[in-house]
Amino acid sequence: MPIGCRVTRGDLTESIHVAYAVAVDASGNIIFSTGDPHYLTCIRSSLKPFQAAASVKVGAIDDAGFDDKELALMCASHKGEDMHIATAQSMLDKLGLGLDVYECGSHYPSDTASRHRMVRENKVAKPIHNNCSGKHAGMLALAKYLSDDISNYIQKEHLVQQTILDYVKSISGLEDIPTEIDGCSAPTPFMTLQNIAILFQALAADKNPELTRVYNAMSSFPEMVGGTNHFDSLFINALKGRGVTKVGGESVRGISLKTKKSGPIGIAIKVLDGNFRALPVATMKLLEHMELLEGQELDQLDQFKSSILTNHNGIEVGRIEAYIDF
């Protein structure tokens, strides 16, 4: 049975979101599954740690002089806070590039305070505010390292994207990976939940130096990976080096965990209807059910075990709560 996320209004059920999840061990074997582990979905921004690792492996990150804070931003779907913008700008400065080379498009920050301040000051959103600006700065570093021509680096045929795809194939063990166009215009793969979990197991395994470096960067700078009050950042901070996570569009998530019982494991979760409001609750229910979080970790993430719904008068009208029935 899948994870159910019940949306209540008062004491009655109004809606239900359904989530599939799978966990794998070091051999890629399924150690837990709820729903269909072979469900094909788009990995979206959950791929970012592996896009970053591809650049680390070939030497592009060291060549650019990026530090671990900047490497963590390469893995981010950030909220566009000042700390994120400053870090992305530092990356561009090190590359000697301006905003005009970005090919990710523009949007206002998801961070409410930052967005409202920009509106009050009549500032226009730029590509550096895009939640993928760190990833794209990393791709630009890879483009400069591989070729004199950095234009069209988002195109599937570009050496940047071919290098990344070849790397993902090598880590996942897949020979053929279909890709489509992501929100930031770069290619994004489709793969099964089990294959996504295999990627995240590798991220925790300490067997590939480039992945270990990415894992440690995310662990050291959790605020770069998401931002203030962002689930990813709070999760990584709570785990204190024992785990990292990365969310992706349409409510997909990958988790890397170092466990006492099973060693390093990888987890993939997908809310089938793509609704983000169910993902933190589903994630916490899964981790609790599998007894993967320790007492202090659970306490720090307690706010995500259920979600309170309020109306426009601030009156509590319902909740989102997850369940797993077997």
Among 2, 20, 46, 9, smallest CA distance to 315 is for: 9
Phi then psi for residue 178, to 5 deg, are -70, 145
3-state secondary structure the chain: CCEEEEEEECCEEEEEEEEEEEEECCCCCEEEEECCCCCEEECHHHHHHHHHHHHHHHCHHHHHCCCHHHHHHHCCCCCCCHHHHHHHHHHHHHHCCCHHHCCCCCCCCCCHHHHHHHHHCCCCCCHHHCCCHHHHHHHHHHHHHHCCCCCCCCCCCCHHHHHHHHHHHHHHCCCCCCEEECCCCCEEEEEEHHHHHHHHHHHHCCCCHHHHHHHHHHHHCHHHHCCCCCHHHHHHHHHCCCEEEEEECCCEEEEEEEECCCEEEEEEEEECCCCHHHHHHHHHHHHHHCCCCCHHHHHHCHHHCEEEEECCCCCEEEEEEEEECC
pLDDT per position as a tens digit, 271-294? 999 999 999 999 999 999 999 999
Measure the CA–CA gap between 301 and 235, rounded to whole angstroms.
Answer: 7
List, run by run, the mean pLDDT of 10-residue segments along the chain (326 residues): 95 97 97 97 98 98 98 98 98 98 98 97 98 98 94 97 98 97 98 98 98 98 98 98 98 97 97 98 97 96 96 97 88
Count of structural domains, the chain: 1
Between CA 109 and CA 115, with CA 112 as vertex, the angle to 5 degrees is 45
CA diameter of the chain: 62
What pLDDT shows up at residue 326? 64
The pTM score is 0.96
pLDDT per position as a tens digit, 74-100? 999 999 999 999 999 999 999 999 999
What pLDDT shows up at residue 209? 98
CATH code, domain carrying 133: 3.40.710
Q: Which residue do the tokens 């700390």 mark? A: 83
What pLDDT shows up at residue 199? 98
What pLDDT shows up at residue 325? 80
What is the domain range of residue 20?
3-324
